Amino acid sequence: MGTPGYWAPEQAQSAKLVTHLSDIYSLGSLLYTMLTGLLPWEDAPGPPENQFSPPISLKERGIDTLPDDIDRILRTLLAIDPAKRYPSARAAAIDLEQVVDRHQMPTQVVGEVRKSSGFRFETSGIETNEVEKVLGPDLVRAPIERAHERAESLRDPTTVAALLDSWSAADRLRLRLPLLGRMARLHKASSRNVYFFQLRVLYERRTPPETSYEPDRKEEVFPVVRELDRWDVVLSPPEQFADEAGGRVVIPGSMRVVTCSACKSNGSTVCPRCNGKQRIYVTRPTPETPAAPPRSIAPTRSTAVADNAPLSTPPSRPTRSPAVGTGVVTPPATKVLVPCPDCNGRGGITCVRCQGVGRLVERKTFNWSRQHAKHNDNDDLPRVDEEWLSRTCEAAQIYQERHRGGLRPDWSLVPVLNTLVETARAHLDADTRIVLSEVTISFIPLTEVVFDLGHVNQKRGDGGLYRLAIYGFENLIPPDWRLLNWERVISVCLVGFLLVLTCIFGFFAFSAL
């Protein structure tokens, strides 16, 4: 079955899961033992616990004379997920050789396009970047190795020339320079990966605690526990990036029984209408009495208006006047002492706050909600339209990891990804935290070729050199007006112009007939 310390995690689970990637894992454990004399862990993992973990770093083992990338290679070989290991032992060996020899071989001369030209074709493979350095053990290795194989093939001048010839021949109108690959004198080819980053975060907001009260009718006994902070209260864990309305939550340990401050535990308060006197005055009219029969009354000095009285002085009015058409005199109203209708003459009412119990249950609550956000960014390269590149070429996904309870610290070690992390953190405050985050990384390989068309013009700012980019695993080359066959372009334009003139003259000649 295997030897403890050298078998892969899937091998420890079932022999049916063993593939060639299990041998890659064993190779990593063997290489680690050759370098340190120890296994990659303090205790060899295996059945029955199968507690596999990343290896201990070489520096922790006291080895500080090797490049840091050796640790990255070992973590990739010993990745728990088989898809994140090197797809072959050859891929691991190439990566190891590049790390060891990088300071001696920054570029490699693989040949010359023409022996008589005197120009050397300088090429370089894909250099290890920050994504591979930081997240190397967590990356899916197959697309990365495929990109390295592509870069290696484009170091052959014959392959580059064939691509240029195919590109020029693909134009049906033949407006591009013919046999461009044969004409071009290749100077340099360099490859790299253009990375695209996406950071998804789920924010959770918890409002400051609020105190609420309710009558102590149930006489419930609450457990005696420590009052938790609002952020220590465990909610249902999020499973996906989606907005949640949330709700109100009671903080454990905050419940207690208190005396009602409104009634002082009496259960009732003084009636605000009678002020505890149990009686109030109400206004009632006295019974109506019949009026005396009308009789003519001669005007007196007090009621008659003098001839010489000023117009602005109104005539005097009687204090009591008969009601028109009723024949009765309106009596004056009187005040009567009656029992208070609000408290039924008791002088007090049931306390509204505690509803007559005299005790209150005090609780602290908060409201919570969740909102998701998405942030995107990519490598910004000169002379590269990243938006066109993402629309045209297929990107290979090499990383997708979720993290609960914030952001992974190693994400900030990748410069472009660190920008997204800082953008996400800008929305945090005392009431808002990140409860779920996910980073997705994909890339598109790119190779830039530098060449001339048989001569170098030192008077031109670019020295007469052309820079052409080959994009993606599809090896696409976008249109470039600099590489048009201008003689044919002019000829096609003249032929088109003559055809238009012929049509115009023919139209007028036909109209004249």
Which residues are 210's β-sheet partners? 365
Q: How far is 137 from 52, CA to CA, in rounded Å? A: 14
Predicted local confidence at residue 327, as pLDDT: 53
Residue 34 lies in a domain: yes
Residue 435 lies in a domain: no
Predicted local confidence at residue 233, as pLDDT: 94
Tell me which residue of 460, 463, 439, 441 sits closest to 452, measured CA to CA: 463
Residue that is last in its domain, among 65, 90, 105: 105
Predicted local confidence at residue 284, as pLDDT: 81
Predicted local confidence at residue 11, as pLDDT: 83
Residue 167 lies in a domain: no
Reading the block at residue 106, the tokens are 């920054």
Cα-based distances in Å from 184 to 188, 451, 483, 486: 12, 6, 11, 17
Residue 350 lies in a domain: no
Reading the block at residue 110, the tokens are 């693989």
Predicted local confidence at residue 365, as pLDDT: 95
Residue 172 lies in a domain: no
Domain count, the chain: 2
Spans in the chain with pLDDT lower than 70: 1, 48-50, 102-120, 173, 287-331, 455-463, 484-486, 488-489, 513
Predicted local confidence at residue 328, as pLDDT: 55
In our burial notation (b when 16+ CB lie closer than 10 A, e otherwise), range 381-395 reads eeebebeebbeebeb
Domain residues for 501?
482-513
Cα-based distances in Å from 142 to 150, 295, 379, 396, 439: 12, 124, 21, 10, 19
Residue that is last in its domain, among 60, 90, 105: 105
- pTM of the full predicted structure? 0.68
Which residues are 248's β-sheet partners? 367
Residue that is last in its domain, among 77, 105, 133: 105
Residue 70 lies in a domain: yes
Predicted local confidence at residue 115, as pLDDT: 38
H or E, element range at 464: none
CATH code of the domain containing 70 = 1.10.510.10
Q: How far is 381 from 398, CA to CA, in rounded Å? A: 20
Predicted local confidence at residue 48, as pLDDT: 64
Residue 268 lies in a domain: no
Predicted local confidence at residue 301, as pLDDT: 43
Residue 332 lies in a domain: no
